[in-house]
Amino acid sequence: MEIENILKLLSPVGVIAGVAKIIYEHSSSSKHKLRDDYRFAKDFLKDMEHPDGLHHLAVQRGYYALAGTTSINVTDIAYLISLENPDKSLKDYALARNYVALLQS
């Protein structure tokens, strides 16, 4: 009888520990993703200062990686990251691109 009661108590504790581990891994993975995004953006923009050394395909792929999607034109991405708040501009435009026309001057 005592073993059954102990097992009944350990089962929920195990489930709670498993859920806590999943939540912890999810929160720490988002921090790592942000760090990786920062490093990539920093390196890519540094490489863009010397456009002679980059192939146009690498430039396009870099812009797509910055935007997180390939459904936005490279020229639009370049314009959006030149704005005052580029992260918000990219996210907002990605969500609303079907309804927005960029006026580049």
CA distance between the termini of the chain = 80
Instruction: Write out pLDDT tens, residues 7-59.
Output: 788 888 888 888 888 887 777 677 788 788 888 888 888 888 886 778 888 88
Confidence of residue 105 (pLDDT cuts 50, 70, 90): low
Question: Please, are residues 93 and 68 in contact by the beta-carbon 8 Å criterion?
Answer: no
DSSP secondary structure, 17-38, as one string: HHHHHHHHHHHHHHHHHHHHHH
pTM of the model: 0.61
Each residue's pLDDT tens digit, 49-101: 886 778 888 888 888 888 888 888 888 888 988 899 988 988 888 888 778 76
